[in-house]
Structure 1
Amino acid sequence: MNWYQSVFELIDMRSFSNLWYWIVLATIWSTASHYVLGVPYDMVGRAARHGGQAESDLEDVVRIRVDRLLYIARVSGLVIVTLVAAALTMLLLLGFVYGVEFAQALALIAVPMTGVSFLSVRTAEHIAAAELSGEDLRRRLTRHRLAVQVIGMVSIFFTAMWGMYQNVTIGVPGF
């Protein structure tokens, strides 16, 4: 067995039968639900428990992240939407029209994460427009986190069902 075969046996381009794919999927959704608009969610809990400086820190970090997110959306939003739409179209066509399993796996991560990105921009716009602070800000961040977790649960469930379907119909290599 040569080096090339060893590497591809370890990586296994059949995504749904590969443990690494499922580890990456879990890590992506865990990270997405922990970092609400790029702010670690433990800061929200700390601000609710301690108030004072913790509350001020949360508001400062959220203001910085919201301003940055909205700046990127306003300056580069059209270009980003165009490139993301092209990439998602390519993944969806390759995956579900042409049957490329790796593209299916990437699409099942990228499509819901795109929805989370749009939700994040919408939440940032609401926070900036209403100039939320204190309890209202924490409530809005908590609702955003809950929405991300629901999207993640539905996504993981659908990905698991699709992955099991692929493994049953195509078969797992080596068995």
Structure 2
Amino acid sequence: MEKFNLFQSYPSRDIQNRTSFFTIFMSILLLVAGVGLFFMPASKSESNLDALRIVVGCALIGFSLYHLSSRASYKAYVGTGSMICKKSLLFKKEHYSQLEKHLTSLCDLQPILTEEPQICLHMIYSKDGQYVAFQLLSYTSFLYEPVTDLYCLKGEKATTFIQTLHKSNGFLH
């Protein structure tokens, strides 16, 4: 069984890169406002407004450059275009049977045969709840080793999976 690191790579058939034109537009507006603060005429009084204007201008420029460089593109589920989120949940040994029962009702899950005190559920999901990809991992010898294969749920099964996790673990979007 091969570990598929959901936090670094994604199932390419279901997830694609998208560009947020709204974020780009707002970042450019903030950049123009920040640069515009530098070209405002200096005040004639001896107040600290000029220093404040420079600090606010630098903050606006930094904020806009951050959003342009890291927030302009995002991962989205191909089916609905909804943004992809990441989540890791830890389950203690006493919850294995309940987790296994829930997962086998939604997909063809092999029995969880591990003596580890905790299992980690790595998952990525769409914000609209129409897509979930997950894998169970156990922490052994300073590495997460896979317990199951990678599973992908779509549509109603994905929604049921997320709702059940929300009810049982306080899972929040």
What TM-score, normalized by structure 2, do the two folds share?
Answer: 0.27
Using CA pairs under 8 Å that are at least 6 residues apart, name the structure with larger relative contact order, 1 or 2: 1
Query: Structure 1 or 2: larger strand share?
Result: 2
What TM-score, normalized by structure 1, do the two folds share?
Answer: 0.27
Query: Structure 1 or 2: larger helix share?
Result: 1
**Higher radius of gyration, 1 or 2:** 2
